[in-house]
Structure 1
Amino acid sequence: MGKPKGDRGPRRARSSLGQVSCLIKSDTLQSLVEGSNTSALPYSPPAQSYDTLFDGDGWDSFGTEPPSNIQPESNQDAYNYSQRPDDILPSIIAPAHQESPPSSIISQESHIRHITNQTAASTNAEENDLLLRLYFEHIQPVFPMFRKTLFYDELSANLIPPALLLSMFALSSRFAGASCDTDSGCLTQPQEYFDAAYKGFRQEMDRNRPVELNDVKTACLLALYDYTSAPSRRAWLLVRDAMSLALAARLHEIDSLDSLHEFSDAEKEERRFVWWTIWKLDSTVNVSTVTPFGVDCRMIGTALVSTTVQNFTANALGPIVPVIPEMDPVKSWSSILAPNLQDTGDGFNIHLYAVSLLRAVSECQQRLNAKLCPEELARADTLNRILSSLHLILPECFFSPTKRVVEQEHAHRLRLETNIMLNTFVFISVFTWFIC
């Protein structure tokens, strides 16, 4: 399939976008972006602990259901995304003459309204083009999961699931405040995009079909949106769903000895980016909630990425050198092959190693909270020594908040986030030693 030339991608995709754009219009956009820094994804630090996260009377007490048991069915055809929107999308965004049945999988706090035919007809392709442009400007550099030209090709061919597209809109519409003409009543509320995407996603999971890569991407974006809106039990469960689907799709063993050889180098690199994006999300969320992680790092058989985020997005992949990382920070940060020597140049892999360090000290803290034992005390001591050696492992300029002349904007932001990770590691380490 040929690539779009120039800016043809958005224009070619407008007919497909119309299938999922029949959504509720809001009078005003409740922007979640504070201040003038629209390049940063809004994040609300969680105010709950492991105990408060699970203080309900059962799964149904917070408005969701246990995940369906996903078993592949070899005799089931692939889903046809070119069907009529009314047949694909959840009932909450169907025309007003259809009654929307009550659903227990939508958050009770969500205010879901019916859409009229006039409102559906008023949605324009420019609005959807804007949301996709904002997504690739603000979300993709931090959570890279898409090759942009390939995405637009698949969108024009009706191969993008509506739930995935709506979840992208939910995130990118947060950044539309400065780009939208509010007098025209532009854009649906982010929460309404999320509600529609979430219900469509749950319905797709109930179909009990083999897990596709787009399913994993949708779960990741839904978890990201919900957790950065208001950390809750549902958000935590969505993170768990994303990790479970990634494991079901075998994204954790792309480069293992028994891995499938059905993918091209470009497809494998895309799956590596998706895997490490979800692994990072699972790790950081479970650190903040002080809960066990979704996967044992010793079971990971997927290599680090060999491409910068910018080149991956542009589908300009260079030579792929798959190297399965040592994610035990005691070994990786003490190795002669330091984390900064395994980076592609934009800080993505260094950031993963920083996450692994934060994850390790959180695991140590959780184990010591449960039971003091000599092994964990020794591990805490080793992690503390790594902490004191960070300025010897990484160059001094790495810790400077100033953007370097040759440093790209997304690389600068990623370096700042890595420094935040390392400082959080310092804080948790001090607390861990205090409880010892």
Structure 2
Amino acid sequence: MSVNSRVCDRCIRKKVKCEEHIYHCARGHLTYRFAQVICSVHTALAALKQASHARIRPKGEGLVHHAGLDNGSSGSGSMPTQSPPGDPMLDRNLASGGTHQQALQDFTELSVEFSPYGSMTAPSDGQFGHTGYYLEPGQERDILVHFFDEVHAAIPLFHESSFIRLYDNGLACRDLIVTIVTVTAKILGPINYWKTEDVHLCMGALLKATASENDSSSTQATLDRFRQECLLAYYEFHQFPGPPSWMRVSRLTRKAYAVGLHQVENPELCSAFDAALTDQDEIEDWRYVWWCVFCLDSYSNISSGAPFIVELESINTALVRRPNCNDTAALASTPKVLLPEEVDHLWKTTQDVVSGGCMNDFNIHMITTTILRQAGNLLRLRSEGKRLPTRNAALKGTLATLRLALPPRYLNPARNVLRAERSADHHTRLTNILHLQMVRLITSMPQGLEANEAEWMDNWQQTLETCQDIVSVVEHWNSQFSPRVDPAICFITFSALRLLNGHRRCITDPNSPLLASLSQGENVLLLFIEQFSSMWAAPKVLIQQFRDAPTSTPLTYADIDRLLSNFKSPLHPKSLQPSALSLNSAEIYESLDSTMNFADVWSFNPFDSGV
């Protein structure tokens, strides 16, 4: 009889079931010595069951379903399963027999190689563990379900059913699982079975470890590694606004370029995968990764007023064809759609998306993000003192054609109940509408009061109309769906808030009926940002700085013209001052890891002209 098929003598004498077959299936090999240890510890485990299910598990239990084999990840992500120190009930059971205690000791020593779980004891920086991570499998899976239900739509990196199946079969990357669970806990927390300080420790360790890996040329460019880095870049950008988070997004974007994710449709230039050996589902996963990187590059640089890394004309990666509703059958029959090299052809791409069978809000989101990038670039050049009336007029025309190419009622902020529009899809559509409204707001900003006062006044009135439209969109918002949306839209509503405040302060008649409407609009936008501030730090910074700035001093049109000539993106380095945070600023970072260095976190002054 072979070693791998033999039941040990102890199991025969005790008439208990040998756990060896579980290990043979999960690992494909097993030493006879390890089989003996498993069987000898079996009786001890039975004695511990009554001690609150003691947290020591036989290695066979759960391995098949949650082994977390690392699919190409550079980190191992597992560590020995141990009992919490100082557990009196556990200590009494162990003291009942030296044989059991010795068996458990042997089991712990041998389980290092095989354990799929994080430590159940104090946080550890061991090779096989994640600091502060000690969730039970059921708890871990519960948070994963919440991730897909409440967070995933904001950064759709996964095919939900496929990933859950891999997880249940023990084939999902362990580092990726820990990252998903920790990010979800940070966004939706606190969680009653995971201490807040341990969540902080785990997130801090993940950010620190991946930051050093990003600087290493040995980091593997696997699909799961890219997904992990996208999640961490998304989290850090909104929770730690400042140079470190921008650099993380920048490194991620350049890494995506290095492996050719911008050229997925050209196998000669894309080295991320072997096109001849990779199925269409996995290639579609790579497309989702690229477009998430595209969004991160867009939002981080628009908000900071910096040039983009991704060049539109360099992209030869098709928009996604697999809807987020897990329908993979559409892949074979749906034609590929690419973004145009020239933004004035975006309306054609929109028509292709709408009529070509790949109509989903994620693709529309990529189109609206593309035109928003052009507006952000225009705002950056404008802040540098350049007058670009021709480009501004061209972008207005592009916006007009794009709006007309959208489906009927798409720009109506109300949910389309006649077509059974889901609330989640409705909020994704609201986000796309806000993108288009921000483009309109930027292209309407007046410039040069002295040069042409009549034109200046017309443009100033258009900004008021657009701000009111943004308020009407926000009024349809349900905060229940805020975790499903990228909080970068707070930069849009913050810009509208600043301009509405300027309009209100320009009114000289205290009895004007417009005053009440403008004040109400400011309250709506401020409350909207506050909804996101319950989950993210960046909106808290915006709220604090808006409240600290003068918001009631009357303004003249000359003052407004001077303010608009210095109008910069919310996180532009010149608009940020490296000064000590006020007393209220402790609230901004109270949910963050205290070990992080905030020396480079800046606070934003939206009215840096002092008016």
Interval containing the TM-score (normalised by the shorter chain): 0.5 to 0.7
**Structure 2 CA distance for partners of 1:207 and 1:299, relative to 1, 3 Å:** closer
In structure 2, how many angstroms separate the alpha carbons of the residues matched to 1:88 and 1:261? 35
**Structure 2 CA distance for partners of 1:392 and 1:166, relative to 1, 3 Å:** same
In structure 2, how many angstroms separate the alpha carbons of the residues matched to 1:237 and 1:334? 34
1:19 is aligned to 2:78: yes
1:224 is aligned to 2:234: yes
**Structure 2 CA distance for partners of 1:266 and 1:190, relative to 1, 3 Å:** same
Q: Does the Cα contact within 8 Å between 1:333 and 1:339 map onto a contact in 2?
A: no
Three-state SS of the structure 1 residue aligned to 2:68 is: helix
In structure 2, how many angstroms separate the alpha carbons of the residues matched to 1:204 and 1:22? 27
Match for residue 250 of structure 1 among 260, 264, 267? 260
In structure 1, how many angstroms separate the alpha carbons of the residues matched to 2:329 and 2:157? 11
> How is 1:313-332 mapped onto 2 (pairs within 5 angstroms)?
317=331, 319-326=333-340, 328-332=342-346
**Structure 2 CA distance for partners of 1:339 and 1:311, relative to 1, 3 Å:** same
Three-state SS of the structure 2 residue aligned to 1:326 is: coil
In structure 2, how many angstroms separate the alpha carbons of the residues matched to 1:296 and 1:85? 45
Three-state SS of the structure 1 residue aligned to 2:153 is: coil
> RMSD in angstroms over aligned alpha carbons?
3.9
Q: Does the Cα contact within 8 Å between 2:185 and 2:199 map onto a contact in 1?
A: yes
Match of 1:274 in 2: 289
1:390 CA displacement = 5.2
1:213 is aligned to 2:243: no
Q: Does the Cα contact within 8 Å between 1:174 and 1:190 map onto a contact in 2?
A: yes
Match of 1:287 in 2: 302
1:204 CA displacement = 4.1
Three-state SS of the structure 1 residue aligned to 2:360 is: coil
Match of 2:157 in 1: 145
**Structure 2 CA distance for partners of 1:277 and 1:160, relative to 1, 3 Å:** same
In structure 2, how many angstroms separate the alpha carbons of the residues matched to 1:11 and 1:226? 32
Runs of 4+ off more than 6 Å: 20-23, 84-89
Q: Does the Cα contact within 8 Å between 1:163 and 1:201 map onto a contact in 2?
A: no
Match for residue 125 of structure 1 among 137, 145, 168? 137
Q: Does the Cα contact within 8 Å between 2:343 and 2:371 map onto a contact in 1?
A: yes
Match of 2:201 in 1: 192
Match of 2:585 in 1: none
Match of 1:413 in 2: 427
TM-score, reference length from structure 1: 0.67
Provide the identity percentage. Answer: 21
In structure 1, how many angstroms separate the alpha carbons of the residues matched to 2:160 and 2:298? 26
**Structure 2 CA distance for partners of 1:189 and 1:383, relative to 1, 3 Å:** farther
- Structure 2: runs of 5+ lacking an equivalent: 1-61, 70-76, 85-111, 448-563, 567-611
TM-score, reference length from structure 2: 0.49
* Amino acid in the other structure paired with 1:348: F
**Structure 2 CA distance for partners of 1:316 and 1:187, relative to 1, 3 Å:** farther
In structure 1, how many angstroms separate the alpha carbons of the residues matched to 2:341 and 2:379? 18
Match of 1:357 in 2: 371
Of 336-345 and 135-144, deviating more is 336-345
In structure 2, how many angstroms separate the alpha carbons of the residues matched to 1:386 and 1:275? 25
Three-state SS of the structure 1 residue aligned to 2:335 is: coil
In structure 2, how many angstroms separate the alpha carbons of the residues matched to 1:124 and 1:279? 35
* Corresponding pairs, count: 342
1:253 CA displacement = 0.4
> How is 1:66-215 mapped onto 2 (pairs within 5 angstroms)?
93-94=123-124, 120=134, 123-155=135-167, 160-174=172-186, 176-177=188-189, 180=191, 182=192, 184=193, 190-205=199-214, 206=216, 208-215=218-225
- Structure 1: runs of 5+ lacking an equivalent: 1-9, 26-81, 100-112
* Amino acid in the other structure paired with 2:229: A
**Structure 2 CA distance for partners of 1:248 and 1:315, relative to 1, 3 Å:** farther
**Structure 2 CA distance for partners of 1:378 and 1:185, relative to 1, 3 Å:** closer
**Structure 2 CA distance for partners of 1:358 and 1:189, relative to 1, 3 Å:** farther
Three-state SS of the structure 2 residue aligned to 1:399 is: coil
Q: Does the Cα contact within 8 Å between 2:64 and 2:169 map onto a contact in 1?
A: no
In structure 2, how many angstroms separate the alpha carbons of the residues matched to 1:218 and 1:393? 36
Match of 1:234 in 2: 244
Three-state SS of the structure 1 residue aligned to 2:218 is: coil
**Structure 2 CA distance for partners of 1:336 and 1:352, relative to 1, 3 Å:** closer
Q: Does the Cα contact within 8 Å between 2:67 and 2:170 map onto a contact in 1?
A: no
Q: Does the Cα contact within 8 Å between 1:340 and 1:394 map onto a contact in 2?
A: yes
**Structure 2 CA distance for partners of 1:19 and 1:380, relative to 1, 3 Å:** same
**Structure 2 CA distance for partners of 1:249 and 1:257, relative to 1, 3 Å:** closer
In structure 1, how many angstroms separate the alpha carbons of the residues matched to 2:282 and 2:314? 21
1:399 is aligned to 2:411: yes
Q: Does the Cα contact within 8 Å between 1:162 and 1:197 map onto a contact in 2?
A: no
Q: Does the Cα contact within 8 Å between 1:223 and 1:235 map onto a contact in 2?
A: yes
**Structure 2 CA distance for partners of 1:381 and 1:207, relative to 1, 3 Å:** closer
* Amino acid in the other structure paired with 1:235: S
Q: Does the Cα contact within 8 Å between 1:354 and 1:418 map onto a contact in 2?
A: yes
Q: Does the Cα contact within 8 Å between 1:306 and 1:319 map onto a contact in 2?
A: no
1:346 CA displacement = 2.6
In structure 2, how many angstroms separate the alpha carbons of the residues matched to 1:198 and 1:261? 32
Q: Does the Cα contact within 8 Å between 2:68 and 2:173 map onto a contact in 1?
A: no
* Amino acid in the other structure paired with 2:246: W
1:132 CA displacement = 0.7
* Amino acid in the other structure paired with 1:253: Q
